[in-house]
Structure 1
Amino acid sequence: MVARWKWFIVRMSKRPWFRASLFSLLGIGTALLALVLTPYIPDELPTKIGADAVDNILGIIASSMLAVTTFSLSITVSAYGSATSNVTPRATSLLVEDPTTQNALSTFIGSFIFSLVGIVSLSTGLYGAKGRVILFAVTLLVIVLIIYALLRWIDRLSGLGRVDETTAQVERAATKALCHRLQNPHLGGSPLPDDTGYQAVCQPVYPVKIGYIQHIDMPALAKLTAAETSRLYVMSLPGSFVDPSQPIAWVMAIEEECLDQLRAAFVIGDKRTYEHDPRFGLSVLAEIASRALSPGINDQGTAIDVIGRGVRVLSHLAHQAPESPVESTLSRIFVKQLKVDDVFDDLFTAIARDGASMIEVNIRLQKALACLSRLGDATVQAAAARHAGWALKRAEGALTLDEDKQRLRHIVAELWSHPSPDRYSLAHS
């Protein structure tokens, strides 16, 4: 886990205003660069390249970029609204953080500001003949950047806000968070003991805010547990909803005046984020499928697509890398591991409930669970079999046609015919 200030910088860099501000500053600096490089321009060069045309070029860039920026912002806002109504409001944050969209808008804004600064500087006579040459060369480079940004922006518009593209972004975010957690199952610390006997000799630490844990600053916690006798048992992972009535940690041999620093290491916000919370991405995928299965939309295809994406995300559970040795500075911090049953519940429970009356969704769900069972270890097999049994029971209670029930039972019997001590007997459920 990264330190809190690094995490804060990463979060800020994903906001639209951050890149727009950088590109704007770059545009101002580029426009004023000619004043610095003027002494290095040969005297005869301005008469050879026709730098007088830069006035008209900058005027065209200023007027066109203002219109393009306004038009692009309206399209972006419309795409956010479309994703909110057709996919889920929880996926909108990924669209806001989309780097292609931010780079395009920032390029347009930066080019507009560059042209304004250039026009103002030319009007005051700051550049002179040599300065116009440099400004002309830089303007040509800016035009190339604008063309590149426009081409990428046109390609991005074909998928911006669409259901399948937004779902793909959620899948990528969930996969990245899950793989990161599998590489650091205890956030770099030691496994949390199953026995809660440590609570009898430890002091509870309660949060002062109500909300979701977005980040845990493990380096800061390591400093608080520098003493050999100190211990810290973390009870809440990123994504957990916390309140002052439940402890977020239990501590031993940590000074009372350090507890405020410990609380500050747990970043609590109003909503969940994707970076360190793999369960949130899976919950959003399930929400997309549930919305697609609602009577008002009735889009079984999207639900089936989400099931396939969920299989790809959870397939990484079968490829867990060996856990790296615990650093000595983090060895006295104990963190619980992500539970396989929880991630299966986040994804499959809502889909099985809302798609219970649809035979095509039930068939795809059973095949997906069987696939995960074949790919995973005993823990994954047990979770997949459990959800397959529950999905079959829900389907038998919701399907109205006896032929559909018989067909589903036959498919389940074929998929789960191989005996295993960790599986339920689904064929006779």
Structure 2
Amino acid sequence: MWLKARALELIEDIRGSYWFVPSLLAMLGFAAGLGLVYLDAVFGDAWLGRFEWFYGSRPDGARSLLSTVAGSTITVAGVVFSITLAAVTYASGQYGPRLLSNFVRDRGNQATLGVFIGTFLYCLVVLRTIRSAEETSADTGGAVREAFVPHIAMFGALALAVASIGVLIYFVHHVTDAIHINNVIARIGHSLLADIAGRSGEEAATGNDGVEAPPLQQGSPVAATRTGYVEALDEGALLTIAAERDAVITVLAVPGDFVHRGRPVLLIEPAGDSEFDGCGELFSVSRKRSALQDLRFPIDELVELAARALSPGINDPFTAIACIDWLGAALMDLSKMPVKPTILRDGSGHVRVVVPRLGFADFLQSAVGQLRPYAVEDPNTGPHLLHTLGKVGDALTDPRHKALLDAERVHVERAMEQKEN
């Protein structure tokens, strides 16, 4: 029953890793070298005579070419890795250490390193298959055999060399583009808006029964199996287990919360059923937060960027203003996002799982409440925050959301007045 949680955790770890895409491209380069050499062995070099514009290499020339391409690509791969580390170090000091995952997960950097390593392995595989007549006579009992030059594979090496040059040009542009602060903010903002849109579709399909969650009662606790941040929770498995056991499960920790091994994350009613002890495995727990099922995480990233930009050491209010613009757009979409039901029922309509949900008030507190103490200290950022809240308020249709937003605007105005006085 814990397989889905483990699968989600593994997928998130792979997405956040720097090794997966380069390793995959390296293996593809290795396999391509073997495959094209096999084609050369099957077809031979007789086909070259029908294509006069093709140039067939001799063994010495082929070795020289492959050695040059292999040596150049592995050298550039080292340079690429060094530049990536320099960019990551700059981002860590300038934008905050929690934004490192955005640079590590950058597919452009990963693909660039993978292309160079794949080209290097490809050249090594093809290089070892080249034979001259003198070399083959020793392992055939002195009988002279024709030299072997994998011409198809040689053209593949040339194609990879040209592709590597194009990738290098792209990489130089991509690195400078990736560390531009407005692009960093925009990537986080676009990811947040896309996540909200995706969850809006899922939650609209789920619907809400309009019934509030029953008050928390005493039950048998199920402890967390690991210490860390909850990345994901398999609610479907919880519902299935509760229906099979005729029980009610109350969830105590949601994605984004920190849990400690041995502390309760679930309450089971009726109490005393040891069969539920394994339900703690339905929580995917990681060493760091992620946006897998936690909408607060990208919001906190934007708030962190804005807060650091407003610090005396950086003093960059325009970065904070850009973050506020994206947070305002996110709040507009969050106000329209349906809230998942807090009560999950089985096919017979019985209450089986009670899950706490984050509402507009929680997201407003994350986006504005956390940023308010920093924004009101700057004469440019504070008024822009009020202006953005005004635009968000004009777009809201739910009176409850409007009341929450108006209250937050009052807090911002009072904080700005106190600072002026």
Please indicate the TM-score interval, normalised by the length of the shorter structure. Answer: 0.7 to 0.9
Equivalent residue runs for 1:243-392 within 5 Å:
243=260, 247-252=264-269, 256-320=273-337, 332-376=352-396, 377-392=398-413
Hey, what's the Cα distance between the residues in 2 that align with 1:393 and 1:128?
Answer: 89
Q: CA deviation at 1:43?
A: 4.7
| Counterpart in the other structure of 2:112 | 104
Q: 1:262 to 1:153 in 2, by over 3 A?
A: same
Q: CA deviation at 1:121?
A: 2.7
1:163 aligns with 2:181: yes
The residue identity in structure 1 corresponding to 2:55 is G
**Relative to structure 2, which stretch is displaced further, 247-256 or 156-165?**
247-256
Q: 1:44 to 1:11 in 2, by over 3 A?
A: same
- Aligned pairs, number: 399
Q: CA deviation at 1:131?
A: 5.6
Q: CA deviation at 1:146?
A: 1.9
Q: 1:197 to 1:169 in 2, by over 3 A?
A: same
For 1:227, what is the secondary structure of its paired residue? helix
For 1:225, what is the secondary structure of its paired residue? helix
The residue identity in structure 1 corresponding to 2:115 is T
Hey, what's the Cα distance between the residues in 2 that align with 1:43 and 1:244?
Answer: 65
On the 8 A contact 1:212/1:242 being kept in 2, the answer is: yes
The residue identity in structure 1 corresponding to 2:391 is C
1:50 aligns with 2:60: no
For 1:3, what is the secondary structure of its paired residue? helix
Hey, what's the Cα distance between the residues in 2 that align with 1:340 and 1:80?
Answer: 34
Give the TM-score, by structure 1 length.
0.82
Hey, what's the Cα distance between the residues in 2 that align with 1:382 and 1:122?
Answer: 76
RMSD value, Cα: 3.3
Q: 1:139 to 1:88 in 2, by over 3 A?
A: same
**Relative to structure 2, which stretch is displaced further, 265-274 or 119-128?**
119-128
Hey, what's the Cα distance between the residues in 2 that align with 1:322 and 1:289?
Answer: 28
**Relative to structure 2, which stretch is displaced further, 204-213 or 90-99?**
204-213
| Counterpart in the other structure of 1:29 | 31
| Counterpart in the other structure of 1:203 | 220
For 2:370, what is the secondary structure of its paired residue? helix
| Counterpart in the other structure of 1:422 | none
Equivalent residue runs for 1:212-231 within 5 Å:
212-227=229-244, 229-231=246-248
1:393 aligns with 2:401: no
For 1:358, what is the secondary structure of its paired residue? coil
Q: CA deviation at 1:208?
A: 4.0
The residue identity in structure 2 corresponding to 1:395 is M
On the 8 A contact 1:24/1:113 being kept in 2, the answer is: yes
1:310-349 per-residue CA deviation (whole Å, 9 max, x = no partner) reads 1122221244369799795797333222221111111212
Hey, what's the Cα distance between the residues in 1 that align with 2:309 and 2:294?
Answer: 24
Q: CA deviation at 1:81?
A: 1.1
Hey, what's the Cα distance between the residues in 2 that align with 1:158 and 1:50?
Answer: 39
1:239 aligns with 2:256: yes
Q: From 72, 75, 81, give the equivalent of 1:67.
A: 75
| Counterpart in the other structure of 1:83 | 91
| Counterpart in the other structure of 1:116 | 124
**Relative to structure 2, which stretch is displaced further, 184-193 or 153-162?**
184-193
On the 8 A contact 2:377/2:416 being kept in 1, the answer is: yes
On the 8 A contact 1:191/1:334 being kept in 2, the answer is: no
Hey, what's the Cα distance between the residues in 2 that align with 1:62 and 1:208?
Answer: 47
Hey, what's the Cα distance between the residues in 2 that align with 1:175 and 1:89?
Answer: 23
Q: CA deviation at 1:227?
A: 1.5
For 1:213, what is the secondary structure of its paired residue? strand
The residue identity in structure 2 corresponding to 1:76 is T
On the 8 A contact 1:189/1:335 being kept in 2, the answer is: no
Hey, what's the Cα distance between the residues in 1 that align with 2:363 and 2:277?
Answer: 32
Q: CA deviation at 1:379?
A: 3.1
Q: CA deviation at 1:369?
A: 0.9
